[in-house]
Copies of this chain bind each other. A is one copy, B any other.
Amino acid sequence: MTLETGILGYLAASPLSGYDIKKLFNSTALYFWPADQAQIYRSLKKMLKAGLVRLEKTEKGQTVNRKIYGITPKGRETLRRQILNTEFNDFMIRSPQIMQLLFSGNLSREEQLGLIDEHIKHNDKLLKVLKTNYERITGAYRQLGGDTLKNSHFTSANYVYRWGIIRGTAYRDFLKVIKGEIMVDDLH
């Protein structure tokens, strides 16, 4: 499970350029995996050589030519395998936020409070994006007549947005609680 998995996942829904993929990771994909521009293009080339993707067409973009990549049957197989065969080191994640929280005891009270405020601010920003995107995809779904759209990617994206919103809301509440605790401690 690397960046390649994510790229294949997006391509499984529709052909895209490297630039499109970058935008999907950055906005739609709720920050679940870092996507460096250079790494995306390198991965595409590597997967092209391996026959997991193919160059569908080269169209004239707004500026430079856009290379549109599509997934191959072999790519679909690989994607399935990467999603299923991942025991991924006991579901290990990588979270700078938790790292910050865990070691924030090494900061002064003021700095710690500042950090928590930043977390709240960022979390609110993320929540807003998630809610907007969730509304957008469910709205688009309804407009298409409910069950006429048999797009499995829609369904899973739906799950991810819903979880993101639940998690973000809970995190916000939690941060407010510990902020309150720290401020009360300050009065002693």
Contact = CB atoms under 8 A, between A and B. Distances in A.
A176 interface: no
Contacts of A97: 91, 93
A76 interface: yes
Interface in A93-113: 93-107, 111
A39 B170 CA distance: 34
A30 B98 CA distance: 9
A127 interface: no
Interface string A20-31: 000000000111
Given A84-B111, A96-B1, A166-B174, A102 B157 contact: yes
Contacts of A157: 102
A105 B156 contact: yes
A102 to B, nearest CB: 5
Interface residues of A, number: 60
B96 A93 contact: yes
Contact of A6 (B6, B99, B106): B99
A93 B95 contact: yes
Contacts of A156: 101-105
Nearest to A87: B118
A174 B163 contact: yes
Contact of A32 (B31, B33, B93, B115): B93
B105 A152 contact: yes
Contact of A94 (B32, B79, B171): B32
B98 A83 contact: no
- Return the 10 tightest CB-CB contacts between A and B, nearest first: A105-B152, A9-B103, A32-B98, A94-B94, A105-B156, A88-B96, A102-B160, A105-B153, A93-B95, A32-B95
